[in-house]
Chains A and B, each alone.
Chain A
Amino acid sequence: MYANKILLAEDDTTDAEFFQRALSRLDSPPELVWCKSGTEAYLGLTGQDDASALPRLAILDIKMPGMNGLELLEKIKSDERTKNLPVIIMSSSDEPQDIARAYDCGANGYLVKPNRFQDLRDLVGSIHTFWIKTNRLKPLHD
Chain B
Amino acid sequence: MPADNQIQPYACVVIFDATTLHICAHSNNLQQVVGANAGAVGTEEADTWVDQTLTSLFSPDTILAMRRMADQYLPPPLPLHEGQPVRWGNRQAIVFSAGHRILLEIEPRSPKVYGENWDLRLLEASELFARAVSEAEMLGDACRLLASTLGLDRAMLYQIDEVTGDGIVKYEHKNDLLPSLLGVRFRKEDYPEEAYRLHVQQPVSQYTVSDQPPAALIGDPGEAAQLINYVLGCRTTYTAAKEFVEQIHVSTQVTISLTIRDKVWGVFTCQSREPLYLDYQLRTFARLFGIQVSRDLSSFSANLANRRILDADHLRARIRNNIARASSLVEGFSKPDPSLIDYIPHTGGIAVLVEDNYLSLGCTPGENEVREILRWARQEHGEKEIYYTDHLEGVYPPARDLRDCAAGILLAPLNARRTEWILWLRPEHVDRVVYGSRDGDGKPGERFTKTIEVREGFSLPWTDEQLSSIRDFHAFVRNVVIERYSELTYINRQLQAAYNELEAFSYTVSHDLRAPLRGIDGFAEILMEEYGSKMELDARELIRTIQFNAARMNQFITDILELSRVGRVNLVVNDCDVAQLVRSAVADLTKQLGHPIEVKLQQPLPPLRGDRNQLLLVFKHLLSNAVKYSSKQAISTIEVGFVRRNTFGDGEFYIADNGIGINEDHHQRIFGMFNRLVTNDDYAGSGVGLAVVRRIIRRHNGEVRIESKPGSGATFFFYTDLPPVITGQTI
Q: Which residues of A contact B (CB under 8 A)?
A: 12, 14-15, 18, 21, 63, 92-93, 95, 113-118, 120
Contacts and interface: CB of A to CB of B under 8 A. Distances in A.
Given A14-B516, A115-B551, A116-B522, 15 more contacts: A12-B515, A14-B518, A14-B523, A18-B518, A18-B522, A63-B511, A113-B514, A115-B521, A116-B525, A116-B551, A117-B518, A117-B522, A117-B525, A117-B526, A120-B522
A92 to B, nearest CB: 5
Contacts of B526: 21, 117
A116 B515 CA distance: 11
A118 to B, nearest CB: 6
B197 interface: no
Contacts, number: 42
Contacts of B517: 115
A14 B554 contact: no
A15 B526 CA distance: 13
B519 interface: yes
A49 to B, nearest CB: 36
B552 to A, nearest CB: 12
Contacts of A92: 511, 514-515, 518
Contacts of A93: 511
Contacts of B554: 115
B525 A118 contact: yes
Nearest to A17: B522
A95 B565 contact: yes
The list of the 9 closest CB pairs from A to B, nearest first, reads A117-B522, A117-B525, A14-B519, A92-B514, A18-B522, A115-B554, A12-B515, A92-B511, A116-B521
Contacts of A12: 515
Interface in B514-573: 514-519, 521-523, 525-526, 551, 554, 565
12 contacts: A14-B523, A92-B514, A92-B515, A93-B511, A115-B514, A115-B551, A115-B554, A116-B518, A116-B521, A116-B551, A117-B525, A120-B522
A12 to B, nearest CB: 5
Contact of A14 (B515, B525, B551, B565): B515
Interface residues of B, number: 15
A15 B565 contact: no
Contacts of A95: 565
B548 to A, nearest CB: 12
Nearest to A18: B522
Contacts of A18: 518, 522
A40 B517 CA distance: 26
Interface of B: 511, 514-519, 521-523, 525-526, 551, 554, 565
Contacts of B516: 14
B44 to A, nearest CB: 118
B606 to A, nearest CB: 30
Contacts of B514: 92, 113, 115
Nearest to B511: A92
Contacts of A14: 515-516, 518-519, 522-523
Contacts of A21: 526
Nearest to A13: B519
Contacts of B522: 14, 18, 116-117, 120
A120 B517 CA distance: 14
Contacts of B551: 115-116
Nearest to B547: A116
Contacts of B515: 12, 14-15, 92
A1 to B, nearest CB: 34
A116 B529 CA distance: 14
| Most chain A CB within a 10 A radius of its CB, from B511, B514, B516 | B511
Contacts of A63: 511
Given A21-B526, A63-B511, A118-B525, A113 B518 contact: yes
Contacts of A114: 518
Nearest to A12: B515
Contacts of A115: 514, 517-518, 521, 551, 554
A96 to B, nearest CB: 9
A14 B512 CA distance: 13
B223 to A, nearest CB: 94
| Most chain A CB within a 10 A radius of its CB, from B519, B522, B525, B554 | B522
A60 to B, nearest CB: 15
A111 to B, nearest CB: 14
A97 to B, nearest CB: 9
A14 B522 CA distance: 9
B546 to A, nearest CB: 12
A95 B522 CA distance: 23
A85 to B, nearest CB: 26
A110 B529 CA distance: 29
A46 B519 CA distance: 32
A65 B551 CA distance: 28
Contacts of A118: 525
| Most chain B CB within a 10 A radius of its CB, from A93, A114, A117, A120 | A117
| Most chain B CB within a 10 A radius of its CB, from A21, A92, A113, A114 | A92
Nearest to A63: B511
B505 to A, nearest CB: 15
A113 to B, nearest CB: 7
Contacts of B518: 14-15, 18, 92, 113-117, 120
A118 B554 CA distance: 15
A118 B518 CA distance: 11
A116 B553 CA distance: 12
Contacts of B565: 95
Contacts of B519: 14-15
Contacts of B525: 116-118
Nearest to B530: A21
Contacts of A113: 514, 518
Contacts of A117: 518, 521-522, 525-526
A116 B519 CA distance: 9
Nearest to A91: B511
A116 B516 CA distance: 12
A15 B515 CA distance: 7
B214 to A, nearest CB: 100
B592 to A, nearest CB: 16
A120 B511 CA distance: 17
Nearest to A93: B511
| Most chain B CB within a 10 A radius of its CB, from A14, A115, A116, A118 | A115
B515 to A, nearest CB: 5
A113 B554 CA distance: 13
A118 B522 CA distance: 8
A4 B39 CA distance: 153
A113 B515 CA distance: 9
B669 to A, nearest CB: 29
A42 B554 CA distance: 33
Nearest to B516: A14
A92 B515 CA distance: 8
Contacts of B511: 63, 92-93
A15 B512 CA distance: 12
Nearest to A120: B522
Nearest to B519: A14
Contacts of B523: 14
A52 B565 CA distance: 44
Nearest to B520: A14
A139 to B, nearest CB: 36
A12 B511 CA distance: 13
A118 B528 CA distance: 12
A110 B565 CA distance: 20
A93 B515 CA distance: 11
Nearest to B528: A117
A14 B519 CA distance: 6
Nearest to A98: B511
Contacts of A120: 518, 522
B651 to A, nearest CB: 33
A18 B520 CA distance: 11
B36 to A, nearest CB: 120
